[in-house]
A and B are shown apart, each in its own frame.
Chain A
């Protein structure tokens, strides 16, 4: 029963586009454009890091791959139930001889958003960064954690 409920709810967790129309028009616009490259003021498109999501009884865990970014440069924001990870990867090394070089890695601004289910306690969200992976722990509210209640039948 619970499983079914979670499954129908979760696509919204990672797919804003499939989400419902939010309380404000901005939310609607934001959701509509989810997955489209976003542009900053300089007109540069942000790159989208890859993520893994785990949902268990007690918490949701999101692992976002953002290698090569100092911890201080990663920003995690929660607004209207939308968790957004942003930051920028700066190109540190300047090429002295460009003809002998090859660039495959993404640089510049990155952005990834997740629409949080209502079962998550926003106050208790914790984030850690190890070996290029940002791990977000989103504990669920006590109400949302399934409990087994035995009801005595008389």
Chain B
């Protein structure tokens, strides 16, 4: 039970990708799955890329800035625009990383990774 969905790299360590955003992530381990929730406000559903490759799940995307109106007098930005990138090593108790569900609700990208049947605790009845 020492599994932690390790985080091999945030964008800060992968400067070659020119990622500018490191969204906050929650990883919750449940008995039959892992859920990953990433705060990604202001994106489009179709703009995400979720890739599973060699046991690593990577999520990336891009957020542009709306073109400022020409008559803009003043602008103040706290929200960074650009690309984000986060990667997660998939634990061994997940089915080869194939069973990943993703949905985007209210600016949060929720990923669900189902655990392998074998990894689930089983009750054996005594005859």
Q: Are B27 and A101 in contact (CB under 8 A)?
A: yes
Tell me if A126 counts as interface (CB < 8 A to partner B). no
Number of chain A interface residues as a range: 35 or more
Interface residues on B, range: 35 or more
Given A53-B75, A55-B73, A67-B106, A131:B1 Cβ within 8 A: no
Which residues on B sit within 8 Å (CB–CB) of A2? Answer: 73
A-B contacts, CB under 8 A, total:
123
Return the contact of B28 from the options A3, A57, A95, A129 (Cβ within 8 A): A95
Residues of A within 8 A of B104 (CB): 131
Choose among A6, A51, A131 the residue that contacts B78 (Cβ–Cβ < 8 A). A51
B96 within 8 A of A: no
* Min CB–CB distance A3 → chain B (angstroms): 6
Smallest CB gap from B43: residue in A = A131
Q: Is the CB of B37 within 8 A of A68?
A: yes
- Find B74's partner among A50, A51, A55 (CB 8 Å cutoff): A55
> Which of the 9-residue segments A23-31, A36-44, A103-111 touches chain B?
A103-111
